Homo-oligomer: A and B are copies of this chain.
Amino acid sequence: MLVDIPQPRLTTAHAGPLFPVEEVILSHVNKIEAWFRNQWIMSSPPIMTSVDLRHAGYKLAPVDTNLFPAGFNNLNPDFMPMCVQAVQSILGCKCASILLIPESHTRNLFYQQSLAVLRDIFIKAGYNVRLGSLDETVTEAFEITTEKGDVLCIEPLVRRGNRVGLADYDPCLVLLNNDLSAGVPPILQNLQQRIEPLTQLGWASRLKSNHFEFYNQVVTEFAQLIDLDPWLINPLFSVEDEIDFMQQMGVERVAEAVHQLLLRIETQYRLYDIEKKPFVVMKADNGTYGMSVMTIRDANTVLQLNRKQRTGMATTKGRQKVSRVILQEGVYSAETTQDGAVAEPVVYMLGQFVVGGFYRVHQERGVDENLNAPGMHFEPLAFAKACNIPSSNRECVDPLNRFYAYGVIARLAAMAASREIIALDA
């Protein structure tokens, strides 16, 4: 391939012995793949998923699973053929024309680029793709030229009966890349067309805690299969509801829950001789975009939030009020670059296929901090290798082996999401 993306900067991806979780995963590749093959028959995967992972060395776990991913522009362009192949094998034959509904903040330069790549994947796979905006102020088609020179034509949506489309376009498939944080707009309700992902998976109704409940289930089954302590791939969590950060309502309950969670983590750390200080990440249970997220190292912090912190926690994307939080075991990042910046892997899937990923690399954040937060500038570092092929030598430390392990954990998260979907149907 002509694009050569060196990764000399990452100290962990290419060095040191395999970590125990990786070792267990790599010694059971066939078992794992056979298990996945069977699982995907029972519950089909979301059409696209990105999974934020944290890799502490002793532990490798997903911390967020996004069904409306942006960031496709951060993937290695060499993986475009895999993305196209994946789309061709998941979409089936009945679909020929796609209406892609993006986020409304199409002025975001990074999002524009992601959208261009996402659109191109489907175009190159041989589908007609046009873009329709949920933004009601869009009344005429307009063009955006991305920084890389791609032209995106965004058009107003048109509803005809129980179908949605554009003025001269009646698509078979509506592809949502808008996370519907503000709810399902009427124009997308009661559609006759196939819509992916389902609108109920938008962040107005989806809960992170629900996802991680299903992830618990999935991990329990998977861990049994390969004889692994599930904690090693699963962050502990709990949920608190009826919170009002502005009114200081319920914060004592949150503080107590944080305290309990820290104790549970401490127990695990003792079990594994981990000499680190446990921490918790508090997130809006329906939050996204890295908004309303806080690292908490001490339960008392929750009682002493300043006005800025309380405001930060109180609303999330689309000005949705936060009244419910998920308290999630914080997972340290052992992935750092040679100059000490923290790196966090993000894995991308199309259907059941892991098609690539990248590292969020941040110079100024600590190993216990969230690298995806508004206003944060991370450097994306595309995975140079694929995530679906273990190395021929499964005992060596090799980016292929590490990325394969990432891909396995990401698939578990996608499987949890697929069970969310089944539960919606039921």
List A residues at the B interface (Cβ < 8 Å): 1-6, 29-30, 32-34, 36-38, 40-41, 76, 78-82, 84-86, 88-89, 92-93, 96, 120, 124-128, 150, 353, 384-386, 388-390, 392
Contact = CB atoms under 8 A, between A and B. Distances in A.
Contacts of A38: 93
A392 B120 contact: yes
Contact of A30 (B5, B41, B96): B96
A1 B384 contact: yes
Contact of A37 (B32, B40, B93, B124): B93
20 contacts: A1-B1, A1-B4, A1-B76, A2-B384, A2-B385, A4-B4, A30-B96, A34-B126, A37-B88, A37-B93, A41-B93, A79-B81, A80-B389, A81-B389, A84-B389, A85-B86, A89-B353, A124-B388, A124-B389, A150-B392
Nearest to A125: B33
For the complex of A and B, the 3 pairs showing the least CB-CB separation, nearest first, are A33-B126, A81-B386, A37-B93
Contact of A89 (B76, B78, B89, B390): B89
A4 B1 CA distance: 5
Contacts of A384: 1-2
A34 B392 CA distance: 37
A150 B393 CA distance: 11
A228 B220 CA distance: 57
Contacts of A390: 124
Contacts of A385: 1-2
